[in-house]
Chains A and B, each alone.
Chain A
Amino acid sequence: MKNHEDFASRGPEEQAGQSGGAVIACEHVSIRYITGDFRAIGLKEYLIRRLTGRYKVREFWADRDVTFRLGRGEMLGIIGSNGAGKSTLLKAVTGIMVPTEGTLHAEGSIAALLELGSGFDGDMTVKENAYLRGALLGYTRAFMDEKYEEIIRFAELEEFQDYQFKQLSSGMKSRLAFSIACLVNPDIIILDEVLSVGDGAFRKKSGDKMKEILASGVTGILVSHSIDQVRELCSRILWLDHGRQVTFTDEVALYCDAYEEFLMTKKLPKDHAAVEKLAEGHLRRKRREEEKRMQEALKGAGGEERR
């Protein structure tokens, strides 16, 4: 079942083997979802449908045969268009979901930053919410007592501690959530589209904080629609398409190029040569655009000279 990734499997797996035990080991993981209109129906309707044989549940595989291993200090970027199975895979890593098939091992404490703003209570104060969130994330009271000041300072909410949570702006809310989730030193950090929190100043601060955490030897998984972020931060790439694994590789630059080209052409590469071709295509396209921009700039400059 590994044939479709053979062309890319040489790099990372060997290295993970050398570095000893993997921090995250995901072996042939498949996750099945069930959907259907069963959510909306009640018990009475359910029984009637069951009896008349009209009860239908559709299954689909959100992830199909995904395999990767991450060693300590490695940062994995998961790329793929909407519905590729990225978020589902993250949920499996955090333990919220279990794989239908295959095995998934994650060693150490996990800090998962998924959709930060939700799950707070609007009527409780900022401080109460901070403690509640800390408890939900598995922190101890002693830890929260020690870190609370730091969290509030980092979130820049010193003057709002006794405000009800619903009185905060949405930017403030995600700042608080980010600060609580980040001011620990987790073994594994999981980021789902969260590197863009708050206004410009805070975004820079949170980005810096993130880099600081990453530099501390944490193992991470990043899902981001910003391919530049993936290029900058990741040392491994997992490319998913409709739940299937296109590749798991350490050739980050090459595959990011290929992926960007794929987004334009919508053609999946079949082998490594095709990937290189795609990447070349992307570079060519970029050069062309660059030239065009240059020419336009020159033209503009020329026009000004003429005037």
Chain B
Amino acid sequence: MNNSVTRLMQGIRKNHFLFEQLVHRDFTQKYKRSILGMGWSVLSPLLTLLIMKIVFSSFFAKHIPHYTIYLLSGNIVLSYYKEATKNGMSSLVDNAKIFTKINVPKYMFLLSKNVSALVNFGLTVLVYFIFCLFDGILFHPRMLLLVYPVLCLLLFNIGVGLVLSAMFVFFRDIRYLYDVFLTMITYLSAIFYSVDRFAHPELFLLNPVYVYIKYFRLIVIDGKIPSLPYHLLCAFYALIFVAAGGLVYRRHNHSFLYYL
């Protein structure tokens, strides 16, 4: 018993160091050639926001209060989801040379990729709050609850990343199929329109990304705390994908090798 506890502690310490080093490497790789560096990851959702604001304001702004924040809520959550899962997808294939030679826990590569996406997201959230101030939305302690959907989103992204990275090992065209899927998600997540006009707006809750976006809007724009079932729904999507990803990794842990 004591022995297994110390072994677990050793395992955590060991992997902790590996995790740090992988994160360090991913950051070096990511920002080595871009002058803007991290700035770009903040700038890019803002540019999207600007375009959407210009194009869609005349259609939707009348019916949606705080339309800029409405747009921005959707954009930052969606672009975090996109970045985390797209980076995550290649995490196994990119590191094939390592784990076919050295026995390391393979999910570490995905986790480290998720860190840089999370850091970027953190920066965009800061910008988000600055925009809120300009739009007359002041800080309220309620907003601290946003930690919850972010945590769920992090888990959700990790889960989806696990599934995608495994599939990418088996089928290399997943990259293109996933791009198509992302375009679909973009239009189905009610980024720039409101779901109220649909006959069955609750159907949008089948889309996890929309669920997380809506949480942000409820807290920040509507000033309401979502219901308990809504919280459970957020957690449900996160956990189901983490479980699915974990299962795929456990089942194929040793067969990835044949495909690389």
Contact = CB atoms under 8 A, between A and B. Distances in A.
Interface of A: 33-35, 38-39, 41-46, 91, 94-98, 110, 112, 114-115, 118-119, 121, 123-124, 128, 131-132, 134-141, 144
Interface of B: 13-14, 17-18, 20-22, 24-25, 28-29, 32, 97-104, 167, 170-174, 177, 254-255, 257-259
A159 to B, nearest CB: 22
Nearest to A164: B32
Given A96-B257, A112-B101, 5 more contacts: A38-B170, A96-B99, A112-B102, A128-B25, A140-B14
A146 B28 CA distance: 24
26 contacts: A34-B255, A38-B170, A42-B171, A42-B173, A43-B170, A43-B173, A44-B173, A96-B101, A97-B254, A98-B254, A112-B101, A118-B97, A118-B98, A118-B101, A119-B102, A121-B28, A121-B29, A123-B29, A123-B32, A132-B24, A134-B21, A135-B21, A136-B18, A136-B21, A137-B102, A140-B13
Contacts of A43: 167, 170-171, 173-174, 177
A128 B258 contact: no
Interface of B is mostly: helix
A112 B104 CA distance: 12
Contact of B25 (A41, A98, A115, A132): A132
B116 to A, nearest CB: 15
B103 A131 contact: no
A58 B32 CA distance: 43
A141 B15 CA distance: 10
Nearest to A124: B28
A96 to B, nearest CB: 5
A135 B254 contact: no
A272 B20 CA distance: 55
A306 B103 CA distance: 66
Contacts of A131: 21
A99 to B, nearest CB: 10
A65 to B, nearest CB: 20
A115 B102 CA distance: 10
B166 to A, nearest CB: 12
A34 B258 contact: yes
A118 B29 CA distance: 17
A118 to B, nearest CB: 5
B257 A97 contact: yes
A132 B22 contact: yes
B25 A121 contact: yes
B98 A136 contact: yes
A227 B184 CA distance: 61
